Amino acid sequence: MSDTHQQSIGYVRDSMLPETAPPLGEAGAIKWARANLFSSVANGILTLVALFTIYLLISAVLPWILNGIWEAPSIRACREILDGATGGCFAVLTERWNQLLFGFKYPSDIYWRPTLAFVLLFVAIAPVLFRKVFPAQMLVFTALYPFVAYYLIWGGSILIPIFALLGFVVGYLVYSRFVAQSFAAGFFGGIVAALLFWYVTGFLPVEGILALEEVPSRDMGGFMLNLILGTVCVSLSIPFGIALALGRQSDMPIIKWICVVFIEFIRGVPLITLLFVANVVLAYFLPPGTNFDLILRVIIMITMFASAYIAEVIRGGLAALPNGQYEAGDSLGLDYAQKMRLIILPQALKISIPGIVNVAVGLFKDTTLVSVISMFDLVGMIRGPILASTEWNGVYWELLSFAALLFFVVCYGISQYSQWLERELQTDHR
């Protein structure tokens, strides 16, 4: 018996052999290239064609960039310096950078004001975007930032943004007073109180009190105008889109049909049509002599347009939640506002992040459409005053590439943040 047992165990090793390196074709760059680029004959042919295409693009673009002229008074001077060689006339960027960024009418001696407002924007959005990193006390500055930015960019008396801020404070106090009795009463009561406060303070004299040099909206342009429209409209369209999505699912027929008609009408009309309405048609519905700021009119129309699309994105997130989530809120004894704020909306917004970001990126790029209503944003400056000048008539690729680069940086940053946020909010382990 013991002999049989000993023969069944032919050999038992009591020490490990040293590890050997894997075959060269199964590790490192060779393995990656074989698995991703040359996994089959068809993939290998496509890889070679793609590499050849990239080579052609780089060989054509790289000399244009490296041989570029950065100092010249006109396109003719650039061509004389190049003397037939391949190269870009980037001198237009060094000569007209201020017009590309701020427009051709914004006073050059106060460029520091919109620049400071742009820097403070990152301070304001930091606690919102990265709430785990920055202290919650910074949200106070986030709430104050819109009024600070208005004061810096537009100028005028400091009492104008202060009265605007106090109107929101009065509206919130009225809302908090009546919301316990009825959410609708508190919400509409707050709106009425804020409007009444602004109407009364509109008759008060505010001229000359800690006033900065006032800049009319018509004097604003360049990429600064695109940033103003994009930032304001995206910030406003998200809460309005949430309200429209909830209103479309409301049990109250009037509220529901108002939201349905608004969403379907706005989504069925091109944005450029709404911009023409803001620029021309809207003035016919205002009393004679009324001066309704053009940028404000454009902000209203773009916000309405984006809100309708975001409402449908959020409605999709709400529809994706199982009925058990709504029933859970009812079983806990929560009212409608508490159930939406604590249970439903956090989950629906998490699901809707890709769609919301898609609308935000598209909206920021669509701000260039304001150039068709004679507003000199970045594209409007390129198509208008710069290319119309005799010095730079004919410089296209350099200017449009610069515009594309600015928009790419902003849109790519938004996209990367959304992907990071999705990873941060990922709770399931797959």
Residue 105 lies in a domain: no
pLDDT in tens, 154-181: 988 899 899 999 999 998 888 888 776 7
Residue carrying structure tokens 């590499």:
51
Q: How far apart are CA 264 and CA 236, in angstroms?
A: 19
Low-confidence ranges of the chain (pLDDT < 70): 1-13, 22-28, 180, 183, 283, 286-290, 427-430
58 within domain boundaries: yes
The residues with which 156 forms a beta bridge, in sequence order, are: 212
pLDDT at 67: 87
For 384-410, what is each residue's pLDDT tens digit? 888 888 888 888 899 999 999 999 999
Determine the Cα–Cα distance for residues 384 and 262; give it in Å rounded to an integer: 35
Is 215 contained in some domain? no
> What's the total number of domains in the chain?
1
Residue of 293, 311, 402, 393 lying closest to 352 (CA atoms): 311
Residue at 40 is within a domain: yes
What's the pLDDT score for residue 424? 84
Which residues fall within 8 angstroms of residue 305, CB to CB, at 6 or more apart? 266, 271, 274, 363
Residues 6+ apart with CB under 8 A from 389: none
User: What domain range includes position 42?
Assistant: 30-66
CA–CA distance, 269 with 261 (Å, rounded to integer) = 12
Looking from the CA of 304 toward its CB, the CA atoms found within 13 Å total: 24
| CA–CA dist 71, 92 (Å, integer) | 8
CB 308 within 8 A of CB 262: yes
The two tokens of residue 254 are 């009037």
The DSSP code sequence of 200-235 is HHTTS--TTSSPBPP--GGG--HHHHHHHHHHHHHH
Is the residue at 56 inside a domain?
Answer: yes
Neighbouring CB atoms inside 10 A of 425's CB total: 13
Q: Is residue 407 part of a domain?
A: no
Residue 381 placed within a domain = no
* pTM of the predicted structure, to 2 decimals: 0.84
Domain assignment present for residue 52? The answer is yes
